[in-house]
Structure 1
Amino acid sequence: MQIQDLHKESPARFQQSVGPRFWINGFLAMISFLFFGALPVLAFGFSFRELNDHDYKMVATVVVSTIAIIFLGCGKVAAKMTDLSYRRTLTTLISTGIVAAVAGFYTGEYISKLLEKYGILDE
Structure 2
Amino acid sequence: MKLNPLNQFEEYVILNKGTEPAFSGEYYKNKEDGIYYCKQCNAALYKATDKFDSGCGWPSFDDMIEGAVHQSTDADGRRTEITCANCGGHLGHIFRGEGFTSKNTRHCVNSVSLTFVADKK
How high is the TM-score relative to the length of structure 1?
0.22
TM-score by length of 2: 0.22
Tell me which of the two structures has the higher relative contact order, counting C-alpha pairs closer than 8 angstroms and 6 or more residues apart: 2
Higher helix share: 1
Which structure's CA Rg is the greater one?
1
